[in-house]
Amino acid sequence: MTRLARALSTGLLALTVSANLSADTGSRLWATGGVTSVGGAAGGGLSPWALLGGYASDEEWGGTLTLSRAETDDYTLSVVGTGVTWNNRVELTLARQTLDLDSLVFTLKNGFGLEEDELVQDVFGLKVRLAGDALYSPWGQWSAGLLHKRNREFTVPDAIGAEDDSGTDIYVGGSKLFFAAVMDRNLLVNATVRGTKANQGGLLGFGGDRNDSYEAMFEG
């Protein structure tokens, strides 16, 4: 499982290609909606940020559509998602993750008697901007959210000891953009604390025989 996490992290950071389309022209500066994380929420690829998706201002609606794909030597993760933002205050998202297990099919079939060749998970997200603004507030923007995740097939997670086929991540994040901070380039700083029971982001179920409690994870 550690190898899987390392491979996915490397692939997502280096090779993810994302299309993020706004439903309207919006009133916020370009790129202030971030990209879409693998869980569907606006963020930085692996982690949700305090920013909300799209470019809707305080009096507008905005929307996003996302197609992402990360490839490594052993695994391929694809994500399809959509989201809507209201008044730059509330973000609702839906994403489907598909992890291709071609490199493990032989092991799963002969070692565990399993025929599955992929892991599929649906993620339902809600994020609320609590206070501040990432550009102009001295302490940045702060948001809280949750990601409810459901495995569409629980055979493989169950075989390796996962307790549940669904779980909910809860997180609080802060984001701040510093203008012309490094060599006249803007710098975005983000910190997120997530409470989770997910194994490999939830693709391998939630909880296990050694620990079935929430753990706090720092993401930056």
What's the pLDDT tens digit per position in 165-199?
Answer: 999 999 999 999 998 889 989 899 999 999 999 99
- The closest of 126, 5, 117, 115 to 70, measured between CA atoms, is 5
SS3 205: coil
d(CA 45, CA 38): 6
For the chain, the straight-line distance linking the first and the last C-alpha, in angstroms and rounded, comes to: 22
Give Cα separations from 138 to 67, 141, 178, 179 (angstroms): 34, 9, 10, 12
Q: Residue 2: CB partners within 8 Å, gap ≥ 6?
A: none
Alpha helices in 125-184 (DSSP H): 155-159
The pLDDT confidence band at residue 115, using thresholds 50, 70 and 90, is low
Please check the confidence at residue 1 and state whether its pLDDT lies above 80: no
d(CA 61, CA 2): 40
d(CA 115, CA 138): 54
